[in-house]
Structure 1
């Protein structure tokens, strides 16, 4: 939550939440740091950031991130992505689900592949 994008009433509510739960401020700060690391491919030290995450409300997420640390590091240094492929897989699954029980592979193929 960026305080600059919130309305006055929302800022008051967020302030009350942070006052009621001190760990929430630490957690939101950590999430912002993770967002900066992943979205901006910053030079922050991933190992230190994950260690810091153990003291937040999201501490149960940290072991999974540590298991995937090599993949996270690779995403920070490489320029390629599998997003287009993942998008096509999601599209194919959606088409298949909408046809559930209606036809087999031939109809699915006809709906997915362009007509030439």
Structure 2
């Protein structure tokens, strides 16, 4: 039947050629089309925006570039995030007022609120981004003591708290 229909449509091949083709096609595994790759999740994109560019793979760079090309607001946010990260890593707090002005001008909800909050104590934040000294160790010790105190709340007196802090 297929041979007759093909012959009516002008095919000049022989019956054995059609038979060979059909045998070959029927014994080939079915090729299912590959589904398109799933779009990047919000968590993935956030990671790409906040990580060092050198830690991204080439594929991640390309996906991020496509996303930033599609969304100009996200491209502005990426620029502001990178600039702030550079201030943190290179200790260039002197650039903070210009960054805050740029962030306020961008009018992006999360970043604008963050920038507005930095203006509350601009000198301290600029010093934190400029000076190499840090109170991180002291803050860590205080938090550890508070945790121990909360664990012992109402169960022991000051002597036990003192021993636990000194032994920890």
Q: TM-score, normalised by structure 2?
A: 0.56
Specify the alignment match of 1:70 in structure 2. 123
Deviations 1:9-52 (A, max 9, x none): 53454234324431111112111111211221126522111101
Higher relative contact order (CA 8 A, sep 6+): 1
Number of corresponding residues:
114
Specify the alignment match of 2:97 in structure 1. 47
Q: Which moved more, 1:19-28 or 1:2-11?
A: 2-11
Specify the alignment match of 1:33 in structure 2. 83
Specify the alignment match of 1:88 in structure 2. 141
Q: Which moved more, 1:104-113 or 1:10-19?
A: 10-19
Asked if residue 7 in structure 1 is aligned to residue 60 in structure 2, the reply is no
RMSD of the TM alignment (CA)? 2.4
Q: Is the 8 A contact 1:96 1:108 kept in 2?
A: yes
The structure-2 alpha-carbon separation of the partners of 1:3 and 1:82, relative to structure 1 and needing over 3 Å to count, comes to closer
Separation in 2 of the partners of 1:44 and 1:26? 21
Larger radius of gyration: 2
Asked if residue 113 in structure 1 is aligned to residue 166 in structure 2, the reply is yes
Deviation at 1:85, TM superposition (A): 0.8
Of residues 65, 69, 72, the one that matches 1:22 is 72
The structure-2 alpha-carbon separation of the partners of 1:20 and 1:99, relative to structure 1 and needing over 3 Å to count, comes to farther
Structure 2: 5+ residue stretches without partners: 1-50
Between structures 1 and 2, the one with greater helix share:
2
